[in-house]
Amino acid sequence: MNDSRIQRKGREGRVIGIDAGGTRTRARLADAATGRTLGEGTGGPGNALSVPPDTLARHLAEALRGAVRSGGGGAEAVAVVAGFAGGGPGGGRDRALAALGAALVEIGASPERIEVHGDADVAFAAGPGTPADGLVLIAGTGAAGARVAGRRAVRAVDGDGWLLGDAGSGFWLGREALRAVLRALDGRGPATALAVPVEALCGGLTREHVVRYAYAGHPVRLAELSPLVVEAAAGGDAPAAALLDRAGDELAATVRALNPIPGEPLVVTGGLLAPGGPLLDRLVARVAPLGLEPAAVPDGLSGAVSLARLLL
């Protein structure tokens, strides 16, 4: 930091990408020329619409500090691109920009270029070859699809949140698991091995136990049951497998509503669709007739870095 020539060279050479999701915020410091990762950091949840502004700034600063500290230097990044869940045009984008600005000030950074995106943009940019146009589908706690043109999402389908949509998401699977157990209990549905982990989770297998558990906290935490559905299906439980099939159907319907063009890129990510994700095979099978071959990426972080490099 003492020699201004070295400092300038260091500054020209670095970018920061941020992927601020519903579960955590991740930041990556990278070499602008090569894209090589120099450092990474993690912070708390980063949904621009639901996380309070001060908390959002704090989580961003946490992630940024981790990235620049492990990068072995100061915060001399020339360009920063951040993708936020809930960060689309409108209230979300303004809040995201304000929080990002505050976090950058807090860590003493002053990049020349800052850009805020929704999470769909950075997820799509993580696709092979950093495509500019195509489709993206994110399925984690929530679920949303988008058509991207010129590196920006131009049309969204679903992403309507746990109460109204997020069809095929982790929350959706968790809620449907509880409903399946309730229906087995009152005879409206078949018996299911899901009753075993649900009983453990709820402290009992009566309707009162299940209902009390479900209404005990924020509904979106029902997403924590989705791994139980995956496990039960893997163990041969037909109702659990049927839930995964229905989730796959819902996600494919979201893709179909985007009016896909055969052969165009379809980038998928999120806990359910990342490489090895529990719904990936089902989605691949369901969108093949549409002429689409999903490319699964771990998250939007490398996409945010790619977009930051493109800014220079």
- Give the interface with its own copies as residue ranges (CB under 8 A): 90-91, 155-158, 160-161, 163-165, 175, 178-179, 182, 186-188, 207-208, 210-211, 214-215, 219, 253-254, 257, 259
Cα torsion 111, 116, 120, 126 to 10°: value is: -10
CB of 274 to its own copies, least distance (A): 24
From CA 97, how far away is CA 82, in angstroms rounded?
A: 9
Coil, helix or strand at residue 144: strand
Q: Which is nearer to its own copies, 69 or 183 (CB)?
A: 183
CB of 177 to its own copies, least distance (A): 10
Q: Which is nearer to its own copies, 39 or 161 (CB)?
A: 161
CB of 200 to its own copies, least distance (A): 18
Q: Quickly list DSSP for 39-108.
A: EEEEES---TTTS-HHHHHHHHHHHHHHHHHHTTS-S--SEEEEEETT-STTHHHHHHHHHHHHHHHHTT
- Report yes or no: 240 and 229 within 8 Å, Cβ to Cβ: yes
From CA 10, how far away is CA 224, in angstroms rounded?
A: 42
CB of 226 to its own copies, least distance (A): 16
Q: List the alpha helices (DSSP H) in the chain.
A: 4-12, 53-70, 91-106, 119-125, 161-164, 170-186, 195-202, 207-214, 226-234, 238-256, 280-287, 301-311
Both structure tokens of 258: 């985007």
Nearest residue to 151 via CA among 274, 25, 311, 273: 311
Q: Which is nearer to its own copies, 5 or 218 (CB)?
A: 218
End-to-end CA distance of the chain: 22
- In the chain, the amino acid numbered 60 is L
Q: Which is nearer to its own copies, 24 or 155 (CB)?
A: 155
DSSP 110: -
Q: Which is nearer to its own copies, 260 or 303 (CB)?
A: 260
Tell the burial category of 186 from Cβ atoms under 10 Å away from its Cβ (0-12, 13-18, 19+).
exposed
**Residue 106 contacts by C-beta under 8 Å, 6 or more apart in sequence?**
57, 61
CB of 168 to its own copies, least distance (A): 12
Q: Which is nearer to its own copies, 115 or 166 (CB)?
A: 166
CB of 64 to its own copies, least distance (A): 29
CB of 165 to its own copies, least distance (A): 7
Q: Which is nearer to its own copies, 17 or 92 (CB)?
A: 92
CB of 105 to its own copies, least distance (A): 29
Q: Which is nearer to its own copies, 155 or 246 (CB)?
A: 155
